[in-house]
Structures are given as C-alpha cells and as structure tokens.
Amino acid sequence: MAWYVDRAARVLVFVGGISAIVFIIGIFVFITKEGLDFVLGPLSLGEFFTSIAWRPTSNNPTYGALALIVGTASVTGFAMLFSVPLSLGAALFIAEFATGKTRETLKILVEMLAAIPSVVWGFVGMSIMNPLIIQIFDVPLGLGVLNAGLILGLMAAPIMTTIAEDALKAVPDTYREAAEALGATRWEVIVKVVIPASRNGLLAAVLLGVGRGFGETMAVLMASGHAINLPTSVFDSVRALTATIASELGDTVTGGAHWGSLFTLGILLFVVTFLINLTADIVVRGIRKK
C-alpha cells in the first residue's frame, strides 16, 4: 500500500514539476509563432529599436518601439529607485528590530498591500496622485513617469519586503549571537553578518520586484499617461510595452501586421524577463561558488 502511495506521489510531483517547464516553453512557442510572420515580413529591426514612430494603424504603418522600450525602462527604473531602499528598510525593520505584536501586525499589513488589485493602484494613480502631482509640482499633467513609477514602486514593495524579510530570517540566530558576543552592535551585526549572509535572497527579492514592475500592465496604463514619447523629465507621459499590448490587441485583425507587431513586443518582453532571471541566476551561482 505504502508503495503505491509513494509511486503515485512521485508521479504527481513529477507532473507538477514538468508542467511548469511545459507551460513556459508552450507560451514561448505560441508567442513566437504568432509574431513570426511579422518578424520575418514587415519588421525592420533598425526601425523597431531606433524609431519612436509607433503607428501601426496608419495607412503607411511604422513600427518604432523605442519610445515603448524607454517608457517601460524609465517607469520600472524610477520605481526601483525608491522602492528597493524602502522595501529593504522595511524588511530589515520587520526581521531585525520589530518584536511581538508590532512584527506580526506589520507582516499582515504588508501582505494585505500585496493583495490590492493592480486596477485599484491605477485608480489611485489617476484620481489621487494625478491632482497631487499637478498641485505640488505645478505641472499641467500628473500622469507620467513620476506617477507610474511611484505607483509601481508601491506595488512592487510588498513582494520585495516579504521575500527580503524571509531571506533575513533565514540567517541563523547563532550568527547574530556569535557576532554580538564579539562586541558587535546590532547595526554592525546587520551590516557585516546578516546582509552578507542573506545577499542571495535579497538579490532575488529585488529581481522579483523588477520583474513585477516590468510586467505590470493595468496600473501603468492608467498612471503613465499612455503617450508615445521619449521622456525628458519625470513629469513627461510615457507608454509602456505591456500597456500597448493590452490597449491595442482588441482592435487588431487576427493574424494581421498590427497583431503580429504586438506579439513581437511580447517576444521582446519575454526575452528581457528571461535575461533578467538568467543574470540573477548566474550572479547568485557566482556568489555561491565563492
């Protein structure tokens, strides 16, 4: 009897494990297939990466994705700029300083933050942040890199905080005790022992945050202004890759050039995400080997 259970469990776990790989390959194949006609046909790589003219519905369509790429990069970059220190600080406080009720309450609050739907964040960006930015900075429009970046940063913060806190908590208390016994202060223990010991996990937390920002669609669509534009200041409106796909795919002819161009954006997103993860993996392995 136990033998059957063991066998069944093994098969089940194997199927579970393999299905993740199957799905990823499946998605990649599907996106590539849909985009392939376009990539091999009307696409000019030079135009795609260097032109900001994204006019797929024009009578003389052009497919310059530079502004979209810069849009996604600027919003994600700005989000990480304030979100990473914020999240790591929060994680340090929860893991190393907070005790008892404070700690539990904070953990629950952070997890609740993570559960807020992205459309709600987008709504906050449009109806609260927009007028605030207009008022504080005296600019004509509050939808842009600043707004979308702040919203995205707040969205990415809970997951980064949670993962980073787990990484810090995984550092054995014996390390802390040993370092404290050597006369190190709490802060010295954190900087010299706890953070170095948990850097893999902290790096993973940051990269998950980057991935979250990179792939976010609805909130960015609502808070970024959705205008094709190379931003010169944080108040400029931009348009993200993801938002472009979401807003345009419904209006395309299945299998047409516009349809294919959107799938090409999808391929780009997929490749970049893959590269980020691969880099992270290599960095983490490199650290581990040392």
Partner 1 sequence: MVEVAGETAVVNGVPGPAYDEPPIIEVRDLSIAYRGKPALSDVTLDIHRHEIFGIIGPANSGKTSFLRALNRMDAFNTAMEVSGSIRINGKNINDWRNEYALRSRIGVVFPLPVGLPLTVYENVAFSPRLRGIRKRAELDEVVERCLTRAALWDEVKDRLDSLGSLLSGGQQQRLTIARALSQEPELLLLDEFSIAVDPVTTMRIEDVLKELRSELTIVLVTNLVQQARRLADRTAFFLMGELVEIGATEDLFEGDVKDKRTTGYIEGRFG
3-state secondary structure of 238: strand
User: Residue 166 or residue 188: which is nearer to partner 1 going by CB?
Assistant: 188
Q: CA 18 to CA 13: how far, in whole Å?
A: 8
Does residue 232 bind partner 1 (CB under 8 A)? no
Contact set for partner 1, span 93-112 (CB under 8 A): 99
Cα distances (Å, whole numbers) of residue 226 to 123, 126, 236, 272:
14, 12, 10, 21
| Residue placing its CB nearer to partner 1 in the complex, 58 or 174 | 174
Q: Which of 31, 34, 90, 176 binds partner 1 (CB under 8 A)?
A: 176
What is the DSSP secondary-structure string of 52-101?
--EETTSSS-EE--HHHHHHHHHHHHHHHHHHHHHHHHHHHIIIII--HH
Q: Which of 181, 232, 250, 286 binds partner 1 (CB under 8 A)?
A: 181
DSSP E strand boundaries for the chain: 54-55, 62-63
Which residue in the set 193, 208, 228, 243 belongs to the binding site for partner 1 (CB under 8 A)?
193
Considering beta carbons, is residue 134 or 184 the nearer one to partner 1? 184
Cα torsion 252, 257, 260, 262: sign: negative
Cβ at position 165, least distance to partner 1 in Å? 18
The mark string for 233-262 relative to partner 1 (x by CB under 8 A, - otherwise) is ------------------------------
Residue 197 touches partner 1, criterion: CB under 8 A: yes
Size of site (CB under 8 A) for partner 1: 18
In this structure, the strands spanning 62-63 and 54-55 are antiparallel
Q: Out of 85, 196, 255, 256, name the contact with partner 1 by CB under 8 A.
A: 196
According to the binding rule CB under 8 A, does residue 59 interact with partner 1? no
179 binds partner 1, rule: CB under 8 A: yes
At 120, the amino acid letter reads V
**9 is a site residue for partner 1 (CB under 8 A):** no
With a CB cutoff of 8 Å and minimum separation 6, the contacts of 55 are 61, 62, 63
Q: How far apart are CA 61 and CA 44, in angstroms?
A: 12
How far apart are the C-alpha atoms of 86 and 161, rounded to whole Å?
8
Q: Work out how close the CB of 115 gets to partner 1 at its nearest, in angstroms, rounded to a whole number.
A: 31
Among 10, 55, 192, 285, binds partner 1 (CB under 8 A): 192
288 binds partner 1 (CB under 8 A): no
The residue range among 101-109, 172-180, 217-225, 238-246 that interacts with partner 1, by the rule CB under 8 A, is 172-180
Measured from the Cβ of residue 117, the count of other Cβ atoms closer than 10 Å reads: 10
Amino acid found at 127 = S
Asked whether position 287 contacts partner 1 by CB under 8 A, the answer is no
Tokens representing residue 134 in the block: 């207009």
For partner 1, give the closer residue by CB, 59 or 174: 174
Q: Which residues bind partner 1 (CB under 8 A)?
A: 99, 174-185, 188, 192-193, 196-197
